[in-house]
Structures are given as structure tokens and as C-alpha cells.
A and B are shown apart, each in its own frame.
Chain A
Amino acid sequence: MSSTEPRRGRRLDFGGFLRMIASDRSPGPAAPAADDPAPEQTPKGSTLLDKSLDRRDAMKALLTGAAAFGAAATAQASIGKSDAEKERRQLEWEEYFKGNYRLMTEQERRETIARLERLAELKRGQRVSIAGTPAREGVLYGYAFNISRCRGYRDCIRACVLENNQDRASTMQYIRIFEIKNGHMSPENGNADYFHEVPQEGHFYLGTQCFQCENPPCVKVCPVGATWKEPDGITVIDYDWCIGCRYCEAACPYWARRFNWHEPKIPRNELNPKQHYLGNRPRKKGVMEKCTFCIQRSREGQLPACAEACPTGARIFGNLLDPNSEIRYVLENKKVFRLKEDLGTEPKFWYFMD
């Protein structure tokens, strides 16, 4: 299977000049990015109205900026701020002008990631490591779900939430496990909201999540190219480029995408510090997110958290291009099916039975 990822630089990118402007500017913060969390309280003694403000400095700052708003903000940051505060604002200012991740050069990617790691430290006081590991050559990920083995424990869901830094306030989850009565096949006859001992007599369990379609409608509809399919088949989102129109959510036939209706909340002690730029780094409100087959793990040669957590071995993950992989064995030796195959989306997520 060949990747359909457009070549880098093929799209129009008028954002470059904005980034150039940003890099030329003084590190004045001006307004924080629209998507940033509420700025911290301005420390006393730092505003233009404050008596301790040096007039010459203030005038200088006001004159250097072209716009009054930008200039005032520059002055605000340049006086009386702690170094950390100044650094944070500078980094946030630079963040505002960054481009689409897919179109960044390697250097820009490294700088962006370093900036985000530093920002995480400055804002939350937590050290995180954000990887930008690219897709490996000769790898196309696929997933198979053994219906006869799943017992509905939902350990996969818990592992996924913890691994992927999902919002706890809205109990956002990428995975649904449907408890379905024997004699039926569709989740229509199932229930994913069960609270009883499992497995239940006369029922089987079927999990859904993003199927990482080879022909993904969600990618096609995005007006700004904020989501795309990587060469290893994983559909990702640049959270800092998404405009939050939710067209992809409407266009996905499998309800695989989630929208952040508010600022996501992750308990401090539960933040997973091992992150990927296109994966589990904490999202902001107003953007989409989705399962990435745990890109931060799979690209490092590990299983996705759901597959690792499954106690029954119902989840099979691997490289579809490797003839010796377990996933290839399943596809070649079991009777497999996919959901809504008639749509032509070519999900890379198969179901099978022993």
C-alpha cells in the first residue's frame, strides 16, 4: 500500500512571512495566542500606569512598536517581570507565529518542540519530553481486534486515557467497547455503558476507535490541512493549526474524532510526560483530537497502550508491510471484516474471530 501523504511544500503556505515577522520582532509578548490559556496575573508594578515605570523606557517601548496595542504589551513585558515570566511570554509570542508542522523544516521542528518543552516547564512546572519521531520507512500500521477474546474489561480504555493525556473533566475516551448480544453483529444492538461483571453470559464485546482509514474522509474535508495521513498510515492532527470547525467530526463515518469543548483538565500527577508533537501532548480548548495508535509509543517500537493493556490478547497491532508480523498472520489466516466497508474508506482496523 502506498502512502497518499502529499509531498511537503506542495500546498500553498503564506504563513512563512508571518513567521519571519515574528522572528524579527522583539520578544515583546503583545497579546497571547488566541488559543492560549488565560494569562497569568500581571505582577504589581509592571503596568504602564504604575508609578515605578520609567517614562523613558515606556516612551521608547511605545514608539518602537507600530501598533499601540503591541507596543504597550511589549513595554509591559520588558519591565519588572521575572526572567521566567519574560521567557514564557517570549516563547508564547513565538508560538503564535509558528507554521503548520508538516511544512516546517527539521530545524523549525526542533525549535518548536524545544519551545513547547520549555513552556510546559514554565507553565506547569513539569518536565516533559516531546518527540517528533518521523514515520519509519517500510512501516504501515494496522490493527486487528479479536472479538472472541475480548471480555469487556475495558483496561484498554483506561490505559488509553492515561497514556494520551485525555481530558478528565469530560471523560473523553477514544475507545468504545460495545457489549453485544449473541445473535447480532452490529453495535446497534450493543451497549457501551455497562456497569456489571463481565463477561456477561450470551454477550460478546466489540471495540471501536479511530480506524486510521487509508482513504480518510476527515483529512479530505479539513479546510486548512490541519490533519493528514502520515506515511506509516496514522492520521494525525496539528493541534495548533486546527480552526475548530468540526467538519472532520461530521465527516468521519466512525465517530473517531473528539472536540475539546473546554480547556482539557489532566491531574498534575497523571500527566504522561513522554509525548509526541502529533500525539499525546496536551491539547487546548477548541481543537479536535483523535487516536493516533499511540504515535509516541508505536514509532518507538512499542505497542499502543490499549494493545499492551489488554489482558486477553484481543488486540493485535503491527506492521502491515512485514510479512512476518502478527497482524499479517491474522489478515492472511483469519476471516476478517471491517465496519462500513462499502464506504470505501479502507480502514486499517479489522475484526476477526478465533
Chain B
Amino acid sequence: MSLFAKNQQLRRVLYVLWIVIAAVGAWGLWQRAETGHRLANYGSYVPWGLWVAAYIFFIGLSAGAFLLSALVFGFGFNKLERLAPYALLTALATLFMALFSIFLDLGHPFRAVNVFLHPNFGSMMTWMVWLYTAYFILIIAESVLAFRPLLANQQEGLRGMIAKLIGSANGYTDEQRERDESRLKILGRLGIPLAISFHGGVGALFATVVARPYWHSALYPILFLTGALVSGGALMLAVALIFGDDMDPAGEAIQMLRKIVVGLLAFDLLLEWAEYSIPMWYNIGPEAALMKEVLFGHYWYVFWVFHFGLGAIIPLILFMRAPKSAPALITGGLLTALTYMAVRLNLVVPALIEPQLKGLENAYIRSRLVFEYFPSAMEWSVLAGITALGAALWYVGYRLVLNRERMA
């Protein structure tokens, strides 16, 4: 039985939290539908804001979770086998959240189909969209194969419908299992370069922009990938311990994942050191000023409190000092995963607060012509709405496919 099924208090807390987030989110999504971009705080100087950061945050979670599942399905990394279906479902839900975030950020969301009708393959954004689409198809195919045995012989209700749809309503033979496992192996192996390409591609989308020295770094795609693995891995640690059936915090799967997350977190900090220390060392150049702004400027706490403190140091202490305690691992995992949003914000926004032409900051000052950015209430609410929808999607998948036990 999972911790979630056993612990009624935990369930209540999570349900109430979801209702609050969903209520706020409903207002935000309504406002977005009614007023478009008018209530957003991004503008002509800072054209990308919270939703773009949320997009790379969610897509990072998706890629990270997916890569864990791919280790199991593609390479038979059996120590993480129990986590794989959870990772796949998480990858699917967070992919939906990411795509919904960026959909809402577009000026003409429904014209996004033009990327398929008339693509410009010179643009990193085109590659990103096409690779996402391939990833989406692959993840659906993997889910079908991975969830087939879990829904074998299900005939009734929604579960029965899904079982029929994925072809396991009338039983699941050993022969089918063998065939599906070999297909999963191929898809898992294909998925690894695909996930690396698309998430590295997101980093490259920023890194290739020569107009923004802050983004224009060869390290960016690598930072994006490491970030995806750290945040996705940490999220899976918490998810597995809360929702996994009889998941032993001292067991092989959790301990292996804990070690992976600790190693990646340390590597991520090393990359960050390189990213910040090199342009800042002599304190000359456009990046140095921007990085100083990130570390010691108006929003210093985003880096130091949310990312470095809550997202890296405290989780590292928890993972190292209480390696077999479920509460410690859950707290550490959630802290690392959720505060990674701070890293994503710091990857996107600071580059845009630097005027392309120095002096623009002294030009006309209007609501959309300022080199400052803090997301508006509507932007936060929309993010809440996306989170609530994604969590609901995940939960429905969880209850239908992964966990059908009665709650205590």
C-alpha cells in the first residue's frame, strides 16, 4: 500500500492544496481567455516571462522523468524498474503542462500548426517543436506498451475502455509481454537520444541568440539537460515515496535514485560555478553585469534562497544525513524539484532585462516599456491553473492505471 493510500491526513492536505491551486488557476485561465496578454507583466522589452520559464521547467521535469524510465525500458536497469511506470506517467503529465504553458504564451496559439505546415528548419524553435512532437508520439507509444499489463483483463468503466483501447482488455499473454518488452526496449533506446536532443535543443534555442550575451553560452544546452535530470529525478524520488506501492526508502530503487540525484545536483552546481564564475571573474563585459544582478541585485533571493538554499544545500544535507528517512527524502526531492523553477526563471529573464541598445531604459517609460519584470497575479494564477490541470491528469492516470487500491 502506498503512503498516499495509507495516510488520510496526507491525502487531505494534498486534496485541499489542489482545490486551492485549481480555484486560483481557474480564475487565471479565465482571465487569460478573456483579456489575452493584457494583464501580463512581460512587455516589449522583456518579451518572455513566467510562462516561458514554466515551460522549460515542466519540459525539464518531463525529460528527466522520461530518461529514468528509458534507463529501465531501454537498457534493463532493473534497480529502478518499480519506478519506471510512475516516471512515464509523470513525463506525460509534465509534457502536457509544458506544452500548455507555451501554448498560452503565444500571441496566436492556434497558428502554432504553421510550424508543421510551413517549417523553417533554420530555427531552433522549429527543431524543438518537431522533436517534441516525436517525443510526444514516442511517450504515448511507450505508455500503451507499459500500461498494457497493468490493465490486463479490465472490462468495466473507464479502465475497461482504456484497456480495450490499448489492447489488453481480453487478457495479456506471456507472448504479448515478451513482444511488448522488446518493443519497449527499442522505444526506450530511441527515447534517450530524442530526450537529450529536444531538451538540449531548448537550451540551444536560447544559447544561439547572439543578441543576448547572457544566453549565448555553449554551456546552456548542457545546463538544461543536467537541470532536467536533477529536477525530474528529484520529483520522481518524492513521487515514488508518496505514491509507490510499499516503497521502502531504504530499498534498492529509492537508494539508487537518491544517489543519482545527489550526484547530478553536485554536477549541476559545478556547471553553475563555471557558468557564473568565468564571465564574472574580471568583472568586465555584459554578462558580468547581468550575473551580478542575478546574484546580488533586486531579485538576489531567487538564486540564493530558492535555488541555492532550498533547492540545493538543504536537499543535499537531507539526502546525505538522513538517507533512509522517507520524510527527509520526500522533502528533499520536492524542494529540489519545485525550486528548480527559480533556476529556470534565472535562465530566461535576466538576459531580457539588459537593453539591446543601452539607453532604451531611459526612453519612453510605459507599462510595456520597462526593463524590470515580476510576474503579475494573472501570470501566477495561470501557472497555478496549468499545475492543477497537470496534477489532475497525473492523478487520473495514477488511479486508473498504476494504483487501484482502496484508500485507508
Chain A interface (Cβ < 8 Å from any Cβ of B) = 11-15, 18, 34-35, 99-100, 103, 170-171, 173, 176, 178, 180, 186-193, 208, 217, 220-226, 241-247, 249-255, 258-262, 285-288, 339, 343-344
For window 352-369 of chain B, which residues contact chain A by CB distance below 8 Å?
352, 355-360, 362-366, 368
Judge whether B285 is part of the interface by a CB distance below 8 angstroms: no
From known contacts A192-B362, A193-B365, A245-B107, infer whether A221 and B209 are also in contact, taking CB-CB under 8 Å.
yes
What are 15 inter-chain pairs, A to B, with CB distance below 8 A?
A15-B114, A15-B118, A18-B117, A173-B364, A176-B363, A178-B359, A180-B359, A187-B357, A187-B358, A190-B362, A221-B209, A241-B118, A245-B106, A255-B355, A287-B107
Say whether B366 contacts A286, CB under 8 Å: no
CB distance from B202 to the nearest CB of A (A): 12
Residues of B at the A interface (CB closer than 8 Å) are 36-38, 43-45, 47-48, 105-112, 114-120, 122-126, 129, 205, 208-212, 352, 355-360, 362-366, 368
Partner of A223, one of B38, B105, B120, B209: B120
Q: How far is the CB of B106 from chain A (nearest CB, A)?
A: 5
Are the CB atoms of A243 and B108 closer together than 8 Å? yes
Q: How far is the CB of B395 from chain A (nearest CB, A)?
A: 31
Known contacts A176-B357, A286-B108; can you find 9 more A-B pairs with CB under 8 A? A99-B118, A178-B359, A189-B359, A208-B357, A224-B120, A226-B114, A243-B108, A246-B47, A343-B210
Query: Given the known A-B contacts A187-B358, A221-B124, are A262 and B366 also in contact in the complex, defined by CB atoms under 8 Å?
Result: no
- Please determine whether B123 and A255 come into contact, CB atoms closer than 8 angstroms: no
CB-defined contacts of A193 to chain B, threshold 8 Å: 362-365
Expressed in whole angstroms, the Cα–Cα distance for A260 and B43 within the complex equals 10
**Residues from chain A with Cβ under 8 Å of B112 in the complex:** 243
Residues of B within 8 A of A15 (CB): 114, 117-118
The contact of B115 among A18, A100, A220, A224, by CB within 8 Å, is: A224
Least CB separation from A258: chain B residue: B44
Write out the residue numbers on chain B whose beta carbons fall within 8 Å of the beta carbon of A14. Answer: 116-118
Decide yes or no: A255 and B368 within 8 Å by CB, A12-B119, A176-B363, A223-B120 being known contacts: no
Residue pair A251, B211 in contact (C-beta under 8 Å): yes
- Chain B residues with Cβ below 8 Å from A244 are 106-108, 111
Known A11-B118, A261-B368; judge A186-B359 contact (CB<8 A).
Answer: yes
Beyond A221-B123, A222-B120, A250-B352, whether A34 also contacts B110 by CB under 8 A is yes
Q: Which 6 A-B pairs have the closest CB atoms?
A: A244-B107, A286-B107, A188-B358, A187-B359, A192-B363, A253-B211
Most interface-central of A103, A221, A241 (chain B CB within 10 A): A221
Q: Identify the closest chain A residue to B358 (Cβ).
A: A188
